Structure 1
Amino acid sequence: MILKMTEANRADYNKPNEEFPVTGRIFPKYDNGVWTYTEEKLPEPYMKRYADEEIGAAYIEEESKAVFLYYEGEHCLGRIRLRANWNGYAMVEDIGVAGSRRQQGIGSRLMDQAVQWAQQHKLAGLMLETQDVNAAACGFYARYGFIIGGVDNMLYSNFSTADEQAIFWYYKF
């Protein structure tokens, strides 16, 4: 079941935020107006986890923002955070699924909910950003129908520990 976040379930937002394996890196290539990519497996995979976030009331109160939470019974197993972006797309600011439930369709159901929300708000599609080292997420976005719209090799350059490029993905309606 997917529910829109309210004050009553706001505390569940970080529950599906778990570490994930980094097993490869994608290498985008732009040629003749088309982005493609190849993937290279890492010789030594590692685990990565994003910090928990304090989710503001704006995602409950403002029409141009939303969070949807995926539940099975009382357990929150997934989340997707959206906002209307200045360019007419819905920005997927975050999507996450509990580690034990990945690759079981929850991410696709959350993305379907994002599509529905964006269409209700008369937006042109979805957009998001992820890192080139998150090959599993990149593969998910590509399978869902997203295409690469650009690469930014400076976005993470201020972080000495980050050897990452930002990949911007688009899903146009």
Structure 2
Amino acid sequence: MLIDVRQEPLSALAEYAAVPIAFEVRRILALEVVDGGMGGFWLSERAVEPYVKDYDADGGGPARWAERFDLSRWGLLGARVDGRLIGGAAVAFDTPEVTMLEGRGDLAVLWDIRVAPEARGRGVGAALFRAAAAWAAAHGCGQLTVETQNVNLPACRFYARQGCVLGGIHRFAYPGLPHEVQLLWYRDLQAGT
């Protein structure tokens, strides 16, 4: 499979949004708090009753980003095979309303990455991640961050394989989803990454 990854115009958000992001949760990273947090945290893999997690289900997906954010410093990347969009990634920097950027000018966020179910596990995500890192480095960023949750074990493994390190655990990030824990991953970038 020859994967063509390139920057897409922001006008392609509707096509991008059509790529499913939902996945089945079967295992999670369970968080154990040691000594009220003074002894640190322990993450361990645990099986759960399977369910489907869909990040777009709340209506805040790609089609609505322009309502919430200034997209002028965002990059939209598309992965195509034979002209068909099978995956994408959105990267942002210097966007004050994106709190994950921590007010830093040298930090980019991989806001979204998605691969069509039939193309998962075939290198599309890795190609998109490399392109997102290169985009961020080309825009003067020295570090890339990405958020996921403890319920997305495949994403956690994926980010670790891409050279990211776990840099933050936020137990209370999602008041409406108290069983989910925010995990923030970071990867240092170099010019030409």
Taking a change above 3 Å as real, the CA distance of residues 8 and 128 of structure 1, as seen in their structure-2 partners, is closer
- Normalized per residue, which structure has more strand? 1
2:185 paired residue number = 169
Q: 1:99 aligns with which of 117, 125, 137?
A: 117
8 Å contact from structure 2 (residues 24, 51) kept in 1: yes
Deviates more, 1:5-14 or 1:140-149: 5-14
Distance 1:36 1:117, change over 3 A: farther
CA contact (8 A) 1:2 1:68 kept: yes
Query: What is the CA–CA distance in structure 1 between the aligned matches of 2:128 and 2:80, rounded to whole Å?
Result: 11
Correspondence 1:41 to 2:54 = no
Matches within 5 A, 1:55-134: 55-56=65-66, 59=71, 62=72, 64-84=73-93, 85=101, 86-87=103-104, 88-134=106-152
**Correspondence for 1:12:** 15
Q: Deviations over 1:111-146 (max 9, x none)?
A: 000111111112112101111111111111111111
For residue 16 of structure 1, give the secondary structure of its aligned residue in structure 2.
Answer: coil
TM-score by length of 1: 0.84
1:22 partnered with 2:29: no
CA contact (8 A) 1:35 1:149 kept: no
Aligned twin of 1:53: 62
**Number of residue-to-residue matches in the alignment:** 165
CA contact (8 A) 2:77 2:89 kept: yes
Q: Distance in 1 between matches of 2:41 and 2:145?
A: 15
Q: What per-residue deviation string (whole Å, max 9, x for no partner) do you get for residues 68-95 of structure 1?
A: 0111123211111111133221101111
| Contact 2:13–2:62 (CA under 8 A) maintained in structure 1 | no
Q: What is the deviation of 1:152?
A: 0.7
Q: Deviation of residue 17 (structure 1)?
A: 2.0
Matched-pair contact (CA < 8 Å) for 2:172–2:178: no
Alpha-carbon separation, structure 1, partners of 2:187 and 2:75 = 18
Change (3 A) 1:74 1:140: same
Greater percentage in helix: 2
Task: Flag structure 2 segments of 5+ consecutive residues without an equivalent.
Answer: 35-39, 94-100
Q: What secondary structure, in the 3-state scheme, does the structure 1 residue paired with 2:85 have?
A: strand
Q: In 2 relative to 1, CA 36–90 (structure 1 residues): closer, same or farther, beyond 3 Å?
A: farther
Aligned alpha-carbon RMSD (Å): 2.4
How much does 1:19 deviate? 2.1
Counterpart contact for 1:21–1:45, Cα < 8 Å:
yes
User: How far has the Cα of 1:45 moved from its partner?
Assistant: 1.6
